[in-house]
A = this chain, B = another copy of it.
Amino acid sequence: MDSPVAPVWSEAAGPPDTQADVVVVGSGCAGLSAAIEAARAGLDVMVLERAGLAGGASAMSGGCVYLGGGTPLQEACGFEDTPDDMFAFVMAATGPGADEAKIDLYCRQSVEHFHWLTGCGVPFKASLYTGTFPEPLTDDGLMFTGGENGFPFNEMARPAPRGHVPIAHNKRPMGHTSGVVLMAHLAAAAEAAGARTITETAVQRLVRERDGAVTGVIVRQGGAQRHIRARRGVVLAGGGFIYNEEMLAHHAPHLLGKAKLGTDGDDGRCIRMAQAMGAETLHMEAAEAAFGLPELYLEGLLVNSLGQRFINEDTYFGRIGQAVMFRQGGRAFAIIDDAIHEGLSDIGKFYPAGWVGADAAELAQELGMTPGVLEETVAAYNRHAARGEDPLFHKAARWLRPLEPPLGAIELADRAFVSFTLGGLHTDVDARVVDVDGRPIPGLHAAGRTTSGLPGWGYCSGMSLGDGTFFGRRAGRALAGGPQE
């Protein structure tokens, strides 16, 4: 492991080289949102970014923000949504271990949060994306991103699309420019509010007083070590730990060797710095595991390595990825026919069928499966699909059609799952980091993937930018000392 993360006593840290009211660690969506609110409240805010450019993993992301409860975008696209429907869905989709207090607050204040984002200049177009890509290839601003309109969630709460995607021009297939748009506006808002962002500054340790309060950070800057004092407090917003192999081996071994979504700043250091002070961590094993091409299996079948179905193919692709990674031994196959293959996009066609068979029996043999299982899976699926039904998993009728031999199988290989970590620091609804007794550590806040945030074990696209910006804001407001609802 790298240099120690244990906190430094303030008397050992020496006099500060510089100071601010609020020191924010990380310039992703959580850090900048905290900076905007604290700076708007009149505080002197310093944002420290390890990399040479601000933006972090947020700028690399698809830019989607999970919002609902009746946002103007939802209404303009003709969808009714309420905080209660949103709450019911999010609780069901992120359990077990979902954080009810955070989810409740998030759903009730989601419309206000949408207005805050647009107030920062983030642009959204009021049109629904109806394609099957995980992110719109168009400038459409609204989409389903959590399986709300699929089984079993469509029976639990009125479905509404809640993925709010900023307008980005020059989109390419799989382009990620909406994340850049989001972050450019947040960065401009932070600057306009007076927050200073300082790049190439790696935060290494927290500085604390004898009474336990955090009052600063030790950083490396241009080869030198500096002590930066935080008069009001520190906000840890330095991302998760997908780029820390030792932490993965310890806490989330399923993720070893998987493709990573994040930056090398996602090294878990913010989590560990707080842990070293006795901060509580939650759900360190949990992860998003997204195989991003639903078109490969939406109209086909998903089977495990035995040839059994295990999920409806039209649910959220991250839910499918979690099922494969955590519950199906890491292997699954999309079973397709020629019609499906011909309908694939150019990107979809990039994933060839690794196995083909004149019929299901031959395909099962090619796959090395026990004879009989895949054959029966396909036969049962076809029998029901011919009637527009999927009694086993309730896939929507629009995706149901009997498969016609010859059949092909595409492996949803381990390496194809893009992962990031969901576990992190336990924070309260004001983004205060709490210790194992549940008591806030004075002067220490956190937001974004440094925390366990909205998801427990589950996920929906847009939740990280959603809870990062929302609880980042709450951290900034809490440090400003204003009343919070």
Using a CB–CB cutoff of 8 Å, the interface residues on chain A facing chain B are 1, 4-6, 95-97, 249-251, 253-254, 272, 275-278, 280-285, 306, 308, 326-328, 370-373, 376, 380, 391-392, 426, 435-439, 456
Contacts and interface: CB of A to CB of B under 8 A. Distances in A.
A436 B276 contact: yes
Given A250-B280, A277-B278, A281-B281, 9 more contacts: A1-B437, A4-B439, A5-B437, A97-B249, A251-B282, A276-B435, A278-B278, A370-B391, A376-B376
B276 A437 contact: yes
A96 B278 contact: no
Nearest to A249: B97
Q: Is the interface of A mostly helix, strand, loop or mixed?
A: loop
30 contacts: A1-B437, A1-B438, A4-B437, A4-B439, A5-B437, A6-B278, A6-B435, A95-B253, A96-B254, A97-B250, A250-B280, A250-B282, A250-B426, A251-B282, A251-B283, A276-B278, A276-B435, A281-B281, A284-B284, A285-B285, A306-B392, A308-B308, A326-B326, A327-B327, A327-B328, A370-B391, A370-B392, A372-B380, A373-B392, A376-B380
Given A253-B95, A373-B392, A275 B283 contact: no
A278 B273 CA distance: 9
A334 to B, nearest CB: 19
Nearest to A371: B391
A96 B438 CA distance: 30
Nearest to A246: B438
A159 B260 CA distance: 38
A244 to B, nearest CB: 11
Contacts of A280: 250, 275
Contacts of A95: 253
A425 to B, nearest CB: 12
A308 to B, nearest CB: 5
A306 B312 CA distance: 13
Contacts of A373: 380, 392
A248 to B, nearest CB: 10
Contacts of A308: 308
Contacts of A251: 97, 282-283
A435 B439 CA distance: 20
Given A97-B253, A250-B426, A376-B376, A275 B278 contact: yes
Contacts of A276: 278, 435-437
A373 B383 CA distance: 13
A392 B370 CA distance: 6
Contacts of A439: 4
A280 B280 CA distance: 10
A212 to B, nearest CB: 8
Nearest to A394: B370
A440 to B, nearest CB: 13
Nearest to A98: B253
A4 B276 CA distance: 17
A253 B456 contact: yes
A380 B369 CA distance: 14
